[in-house]
Structure 1
Amino acid sequence: MHLARVENERSGKSKALPIQDEKAQLHVGCSGWFYWHWRGAFYPADLPTRSWFRHYAGRFKTVELNAPFYSWPTVATVESWIRQAGRHRFVYTVKVCELITHIKRLAGTRTLVRDFGLIADLLGPHMGCFLFQLPPSFHYTPARLKRILGQLDHQRRNVIEFRHKSWWNYTVYNAFRKTGTIFCSCSGPRLPDELIKTADDIYIRFHGVKKWYRHNYTIGELDVWAKRIAESEAKTVWAYFNNDRDGYAIKNARALSRLIGHPD
C-alpha cells in the first residue's frame, strides 16, 4: 500500500474529498454486512453468500467496513469493493486499521495514515469517511489531543470515535472544529448520550444502550436521535448500527431512515 500510495502521488492524482450527490446527504446503514447469524433473518436461507452484498446493497446505500480494522487491505481488496458495488450508488466508510489506533495509538503514524488514505483515492465516489476508533484505555490529555490532530491527513474526511467519556469536552470540540475533524457521537453503555457536531458532517454509531451490540432500539429511543439530527442542521449525516445481534442493526437502521425522512 505504501508503494502504491507513493506512485499515486507521483502521478499527480487528486486527493480531494469525493463529491457526494447533493440529494444524498443522509447515509444510514450497518457496521458490517457479512454476519452468519443474519442468514435466514435478513439474507434468505437459500441465498449463496456471494450474493449477500448485492442483497444488502439493494436495501442500504452505505456500509461501515470493519474488516480493515483487523487486516490492512491491499489494493486488490479495495478494487474488489469497487467491483462489488458495481453500478450501485454505494458509499463505504472504512474503519482504520488497529495498527494505527490500538497498537501505535496514533503515535508516529503519519506515514501509515497517509498510506491508508490511498483507499479514498482508489474508491473515489464510493468513499465515505475514515473511522478512527480509539480504545477505552485511551483517556483525554492535551498532549494526546495534539498528537491525534497532528497525525491526521486533513484532506480526508476523518471521524474519531472515543470510548472514554473524558474526551467529551469543549477543548476537544473546539480543536476538532478548527481542523474539520468529525467527532463520533456514540450510543453506547457508559458513554455520554448526546450528539456532538464539530464539522458540517455528523457521524453516529449505535452500539446499544445498556449492552454492547445486542440492544434493540425502540422507536422512542430512535426518535430522540432523529430529532437531534434534525436540530443539528448538519449538511451530511452518517449513521451506522453496530448492534448486529439478532439482526437488530437492520431493523433499527430502517426505522431511523424512516424517521429522518429517508426511507429505504
Structure 2
Amino acid sequence: MTGRIRVGIGGWVYEPWRGTFYPQGLRQKDELAYLGQHLSATEINATYYGTQKPATFANWAKAVPDGFQFAIKASRYCTNRKILAEAGESIAKFTGQGIAELGDRLGPIIWQFAATKAFDRNDFAAFLKLLPASVDGMPLRHALEVRHASFDDPAFKTMAQQAGAAIVRADHDDYPAIDGLTVGFSYLRLMHARDNEATGYAPSAIADWAALARDRAADGDVFAFFISGAKVRNPAAAQALTEALG
C-alpha cells in the first residue's frame, strides 16, 4: 500500500512570512490554522528548546485539519551530550510532556545530532534502546538526523533499521546524504532554498524531490520539510512540491 506524502516547513512563526505566505493582517494566533489549510505538516521546533504543556499540544492539534501531522523535534538535552547512553531521564521527560495530546496529528519525532557528534557504535546502540515505542498508548515513530560523515556506515544503517528508526535524508552541503533502510516511513529535510528562486528551489529540483518522495512512498508515509536556507522561501517551496506531487 502506498504511503501518504506530507509536505511542510519548520515551525510556523516567522515574521518574514507575514505578507509573503501569510496574508497581511492575519492574526498571529491564526497562523497555524492558515498553515494547516495550505500544507500538510510542520516541524515543532519549540520542543527542542524547552518543555511544553499538554494543553499546548492539544490546542495545536485543534488548529489543524484531519490528516495534518506535526513532526516533533526532540529536546536538545537528549541528543547534545557526550554519552548518549545516559540520556534516559531526558528522553522520558521529553516524551512524557504531553505529546500524546496531538492524537492522530502526531507525526514522527526527529532526533537531531550535532555535526561534531561522530558515530560510536556501542553508545548509539544504547541510545536507540532508550527510545520508547509508544507513550500514553500512542505509537511513536523515530527519525534520526545525523550530521557527521562517520554515520555513513552500514552498521549504523542496520542498527537504525532494527530499531525501526528512519534516517533523515538531508539536502545540505555539509551533512552526509545517507539513504537509510526501509522502516515503513521516510523523512526528508531540504535545506537549500535560495532567495533568487521564487519557490526556493528551481522547478527541476522540485521535480526531482517529488520523484524521490513518490519512490519512497512505496515503502510507507513520507515527510518532507523545507528547513533553513533562504527561510522566507520555504512556504513557497513546500507549496511547489505539493503541487508537483499532484
TM-score w.r.t. length of structure 1: 0.80
Q: Structure 1 CA distance, aligned partners of 2:202 and 2:66?
A: 30
> Which residue of 2 is the match for residue 158 of structure 1?
142
Alignment of 1:16-27 (within 5 A): 25-27=4-6
Q: Give the aligned partner of residue 131 of structure 1.
A: 110
1:28 aligns with 2:21: no
Partner residue in 2 for 1:173: 157
The whole-number CA distance in structure 1 between the counterparts of 2:40 and 2:211 is 22
Unaligned runs of 5+ residues in structure 2 are: 135-139
Q: CA offset at residue 207 of structure 1?
A: 1.4
| Aligned residue runs from structure 1 range 185-264, under 5 A | 185-193=169-177, 195-208=179-192, 216-232=200-216, 233-243=218-228, 245=230, 247-261=232-246
Deviation by residue 1:156-189 (Cα, 9 ceiling, x = unmatched): 2011101112112211111111121111110112
After superposing the two structures, state which structure 1 stretch, 23-32 or 39-48, moved more: 23-32
C-alpha distance in 2, partners of 1:195/1:177?
A: 11
What SS does the corresponding residue of 2:207 show, helix, strand or coil?
A: helix
Give 2:73's match in structure 1, choosing from 79, 95, 98: 95
In structure 2, which of residues 86, 92, 101 is the aligned counterpart of residue 114 of structure 1?
92
Q: Is the 8 A contact 1:183 1:198 kept in 2?
A: no
Question: For 2:31 and 2:214, how far apart are their aligned partners in 1?
Answer: 32
Q: 8 Å contact 2:158–2:181 — kept in the other structure?
A: no
Partner of 1:57: 36
For the 8 Å contact 2:61–2:102, the answer to whether it is kept is yes
Q: Does 1:84 align with 2:63?
A: yes
Q: What secondary structure does 2:180 align onto? A: coil
| Alignment partners' CA distance in 2, 1:186 and 1:105 | 24
> Alignment length, in residue pairs?
236
CA RMSD between the two structures: 2.5
**Aligned equivalents of 2:209, 2:175: Cα separation in 1:** 15
TM-score (norm 2): 0.85
Instruction: Show CA shifts across 1:122-177 (max 9, x none).
Output: 22211001111011110112123213212211342011101112112211111111
CA 1:101 to 1:210, structure 2 compared with 1: closer, same or farther past 3 Å? Answer: farther
CA gap of 1:104–1:94, structure 2 versus 1, over 3 A, is farther
In 2, Cα distance between equivalents of 1:80 and 1:23: 30
- CA distances 1:72-114 after superposition (whole Å, capped 9, x unpaired): 11223222323333x5442111101111111466332223323
For structure 1, which runs of at least 5 residues remain unmatched after alignment?
1-21
The residue type equivalent to 2:57 in the other structure is V
Q: Relative to 1, partners in 2 of residues 1:231 and 1:46: Cα closer, same or farther, differing over 3 Å?
A: closer
CA gap of 1:97–1:247, structure 2 versus 1, over 3 A, is same
What is the rounded CA distance, in whole Å, between the counterparts of 1:185 and 1:132 in structure 2? 13
1:26-80 superposed Cα distances (whole Å, 9 cap, x missing partner): 1111111110111111112221212211211110121111111011112232223
Corresponding residue SS for 1:131: strand
The letter for the 2-side match of 1:34 is V
Cα distance change of structure 1 residues 135 and 186 upon mapping to structure 2, 3 Å threshold? same
The one of the two structures with greater contact order (alpha-carbon pairs below 8 A, sep at least 6) is 2
Q: Which amino acid aligns with 1:42?
A: F
